[in-house]
């Protein structure tokens, strides 16, 4: 019997397939169906800092300091109409989601500033969430704000939330960080139990007729997985926190790659929005079939087997392989050369 169990944030999950934060998990019916189809855990959509009645001086200060960048970031958020849940309704949704399924329910807070609003983390814990995912969505556009200051802001936020809750804490990270392993190490020290790689930033487009910048939310494609595979493969074995992959996980092959890189779970949104939550069932079947054919008995057995520590050519994840990759392409392009 193939064992699909995995551990994430201190829980033993029946499957590494996790539904990531999106409008899917805003609906109880879809949450139940996702569990029936094989989800190992559910991440609820985020409660956004901007949705909270904020009177914290900290935040006022932050907004006046970074008014331009925060306002700009806001216009790129996923369509807020889908996020009708205010703070009270959000807490009620946490309670209902917990009652609806047996698998762990992970709530999500989305914000950038440390301050009064983080006390909602405790309210979320009291509402029964099994864990909390913190999505730090910040676009640093101010030339006077250095990278180190942005990283310090992330760490302050994580420490602050850590102080307020006892449940496991995962942090969803952007890939726009200059030294990801060091940041991961610092997040370990700040109290993160899990790192979710990576946040997808929704890039605005230009409308050439209206000459306007328009928000544009496109679903992911499987090629986006590679960035996550590389960094999970590099981090595996070097951080205490569990690693989760979000972004570009569409089928069983993607899940297998995520596990071999060293992830504890593989999260899905775009594929479920495209094919429905029952897609989880099809992916689980394919996963089992592949493992059977390749004589794997458990997810545990394959975890990290393709991480940088374990592959025959560790440089494949580094710059050393850059030249080789470019050369291999140039050769293929020359007429008559295969």
Residue ranges that bind ligand FMN, judged by CB under 6 A: 20-23, 45-46, 78, 108, 110, 135, 172, 200, 219-220, 246-249, 268-271
Q: How many CA atoms lie within 13 A of 178 on its CB side?
A: 6
Helix (H) or strand (E) holding 243: strand 242-246
CB of 268 to ligand FMN, least distance (A): 5
CB of 313 to ligand FMN, least distance (A): 28
Rg (CA), the chain: 20
DSSP 246-276: ESS--SHHHHHHHHHHT-SEEEESHHHHHH-
Which C-beta is closer to ligand FMN: that of 26 or that of 35?
26
Nearest Cα neighbor of 117 from 44, 171, 47 is: 47
Q: How far is CA 314 from CA 103, 305, 311, 319, in A?
A: 36, 12, 6, 11
DSSP 178-204: S-HHHHHHHHHHHT-SEEEE-PPP---
3-class SS letters over 98-161: HHHCCCCEEEEEEECCCCHHHHHHHHHHHCCCCEEEEEECCCCCCCCCCHHHHHHHHHHHHHHH
Nearest Cα neighbor of 170 from 118, 105, 108 is: 108
CB of 134 to ligand FMN, least distance (A): 9
Which C-beta is closer to ligand FMN: that of 82 or that of 331?
82
CB of 50 to ligand FMN, least distance (A): 12
Report how far residue 290's alpha carbon sits from residue 252's, in angstroms, rounded to the nearest whole number.
8
Which C-beta is closer to ligand FMN: that of 23 or that of 314?
23
Which C-beta is closer to ligand FMN: that of 135 or that of 308?
135
Bond before 206 cis per omega within 30 degrees: no
Which C-beta is closer to ligand FMN: that of 229 or that of 308?
229
**Helices and strands (DSSP H and E) totals, the chain:** 13, 12
Which C-beta is closer to ligand FMN: that of 108 or that of 307?
108
CB of 230 to ligand FMN, least distance (A): 16
Which C-beta is closer to ligand FMN: that of 45 or that of 296?
45
Count of C-beta atoms within a 10 Å radius of residue 292 = 11
CB of 61 to ligand FMN, least distance (A): 25
Which C-beta is closer to ligand FMN: that of 153 or that of 268?
268
């Amino acid at each position: 019997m193939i064992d699909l169990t995995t551990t994430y944030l201190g829980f033993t999950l029946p499957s590494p397939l996790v539904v990531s934060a999106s409008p899917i998990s805003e609906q109880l019916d879809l949450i139940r169906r996702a569990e029936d189809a094989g989800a190992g855990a559910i991440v609820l959509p985020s409660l956004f800092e901007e949705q909270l009645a904020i009177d914290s001086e900290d935040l006022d200060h932050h907004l006046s300091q970074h008014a331009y960048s925060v306002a700009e970031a806001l216009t790129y958020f996923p369509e807020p109409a889908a996020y009708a849940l205010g703070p009270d309704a959000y807490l009620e949704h946490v309670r209902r989601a917990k009652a609806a399924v047996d698998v762990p329910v992970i709530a999500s807070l989305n914000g950038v500033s440390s301050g009064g609003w983080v006390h909602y983390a405790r309210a979320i814990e009291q509402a029964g969430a099994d864990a909390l995912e913190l999505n730090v969505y910040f676009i640093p556009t101010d030339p006077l704000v250095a990278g180190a200051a942005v990283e310090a802001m992330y760490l302050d936020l994580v420490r602050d939330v850590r102080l307020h809750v006892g449940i496991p804490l995962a942090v969803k990270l952007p890939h726009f960080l200059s030294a990801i392993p060091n940041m991961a190490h610092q997040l370990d020290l700040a109290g993160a139990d899990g790192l979710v790689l990576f946040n997808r930033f929704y890039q605005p487009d230009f409308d050439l007729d209206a000459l306007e910048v328009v928000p544009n939310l496109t679903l992911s494609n499987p090629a986006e997985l590679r960035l996550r595979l590389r960094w999970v493969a590099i981090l595996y074995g070097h951080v205490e926190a569990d690693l989760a992959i979000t972004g570009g996980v569409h089928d069983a092959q993607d899940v297998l790659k995520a596990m071999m890189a060293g992830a504890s779970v593989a999260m899905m949104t775009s594929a479920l929005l495209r094919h429905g939550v029952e897609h989880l069932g099809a992916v689980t079947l394919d996963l089992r079939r592949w493992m059977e054919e390749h004589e794997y008995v458990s997810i545990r057995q394959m975890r990290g087997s393709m991480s940088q520590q374990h592959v025959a050519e560790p440089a494949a994840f580094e710059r050393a392989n850059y030249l080789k990759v470019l050369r291999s392409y140039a050769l293929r392009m020359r007429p008559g050369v295969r």
